[in-house]
């Protein structure tokens, strides 16, 4: 037991040093929490708003939940992924892994951002009804999307210098996901975590504008490096894969819906029906109309 406590103390000391350097360099708030979301360190550069929120019991429990869920989401997605907490501020978490054991997470952020790409990780709480909390919200610092993503990369790079996130830990995290939670079984067959994250992002955004630049930003890789890795792993280029996924989903809609071919094409990002039909035929050998006719849906 004494040995375990000594190891935990050493880990906390290193984590404290990381957070101190990170906060001094960036001015961004952070804290260390354990695998249950419980605070294990002092509050580094916390905003007045977040200090108040964590002093109110009803909100403090939600803060802990967001810290925990945000950390687990980082492990599941195998990369730092900023999110909105229950109060609407943007945070991100980096796992602390030592000797293939997860000890907790460094959670950073407390940033205000109007960018809609940051999604809520928990249901929003009505904190605006608390006048004490509301008066401090205006002092929360505003950040742009690019600044937040850069900050997350800095903390991730600094932390992994001391606590490498091992392949075994990645596999354990993937295997630990509840049965039925993984909507894309093919992810288990992809070796590189960067490409797993790329595929997961593509699958979840088939109706959005997808480009090499946008996806590279999401997975923290250069466009040329992502393109090279993707081709090596998937044996096709990125746009071919995106079209393949879109056609597969379009097939499902054509089999079960009476929506027009034009509407279905637009649903999956094709703004010209002729181009949608061309891509669909490349992958299936027939037009959407011919495909639908086999299922008697007109």
Task: Give 232-276 pLDDT, tens digit per residue.
Answer: 988 899 999 999 999 999 998 998 888 899 999 998 989 899 999
The per-residue pLDDT for 207 is 85
Sheet holding 29-34, edge to edge: 29-34, 101-111, 90-98, 83-84
- pLDDT tens, residue by residue, 150-179: 999 899 889 988 887 644 444 444 444 433
CA 114 to chain centre: 17
pLDDT at position 188:
63
pLDDT number for residue 112? 93
Give, for all 298 residues of the chain, the pLDDT tens digit: 444 555 788 899 999 999 999 999 999 999 999 988 899 999 999 999 999 998 888 888 899 989 988 888 887 776 778 999 999 999 999 999 887 788 899 999 999 998 877 888 888 888 888 787 888 888 899 999 889 999 998 998 899 888 876 444 444 444 444 333 444 556 667 878 888 889 988 988 898 889 999 999 888 888 999 999 999 988 899 999 999 999 999 998 998 888 899 999 998 989 899 999 999 999 999 999 999 887 765 5
Residue 225 tokens, joined: 């490096």
Residue 130: how many CA atoms within 13 Å on its side-chain side? 17
Instruction: List the beta bridge partners of residue 29.
Output: 109
- C-alpha 251/C-alpha 291 separation (Å) is 8
Give the CATH number of domain 240-293: 1.10.10.60
DSSP H helices, the chain, are 2-26, 48-53, 57-77, 131-137, 145-162, 167-175, 193-204, 212-218, 223-234, 238-256, 261-267, 273-284, 288-293
- How many CB atoms are located within 10 Å of the residue 50 CB? 23
Contacts of 77 (CB under 8 A, 6+ apart): 197, 200
Closest CA to 190 of 135, 150, 229: 229
Report the pLDDT value the prediction gives residue 182, as an integer from 0 to 100: 45
Spatial contact of 125 and 87, defined as CB atoms under 8 Å apart: yes
Q: What does residue 268 show for φ and ψ, rounded to 5 degrees?
A: -110, 25
**Helix axes 273-284 and 238-256, enclosed angle (nearest 10):** 100
For domain 2-166, give the CATH number: 3.30.450
């Amino acid at each position: 037991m004494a040995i375990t406590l000594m190891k935990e103390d050493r880990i906390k000391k290193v984590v404290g040093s990381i957070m101190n350097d990170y906060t001094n360099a960036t001015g961004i708030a952070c804290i260390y929490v354990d695998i249950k979301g419980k605070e294990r360190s002092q509050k580094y550069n916390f905003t007045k708003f977040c200090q108040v929120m964590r002093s109110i019991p009803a909100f403090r429990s939600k803060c802990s939940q967001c810290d925990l869920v945000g950390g687990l989401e980082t492990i599941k997605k195998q990369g730092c992924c900023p999110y909105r907490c229950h109060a609407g501020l943007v945070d991100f978490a980096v796992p602390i892994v030592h000797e293939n054991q997860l000890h907790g997470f460094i959670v950073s952020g407390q940033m205000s951002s109007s960018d809609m790409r940051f999604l809520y990780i928990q249901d929003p709480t009505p904190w605006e009804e608390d006048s004490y909390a509301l008066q401090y919200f205006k002092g929360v610092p505003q950040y742009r999307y690019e600044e937040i993503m850069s900050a997350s990369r800095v903390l991730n790079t600094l932390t992994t210098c001391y606590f490498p996130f091992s392949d075994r830990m990645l596999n354990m995290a993937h295997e630990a996901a509840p049965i039925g939670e993984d909507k894309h079984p093919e992810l288990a067959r992809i070796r590189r975590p960067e490409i797993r994250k790329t595929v997961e992002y593509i699958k979840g955004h088939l109706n959005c504008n997808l480009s090499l630049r946008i996806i590279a930003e999401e997975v923290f890789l250069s466009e040329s490096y992502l393109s090279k890795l993707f081709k090596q792993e998937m044996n096709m280029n990125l746009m071919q894969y995106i079209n393949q996924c879109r056609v597969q989903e379009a097939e499902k809609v054509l089999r079960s819906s009476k929506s027009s071919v034009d509407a279905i094409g637009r649903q999956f990002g094709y703004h010209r029906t002729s181009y949608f039909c061309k891509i669909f035929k490349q992958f299936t050998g027939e037009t959407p109309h011919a495909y639908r006719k086999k299922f008697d849906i007109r």
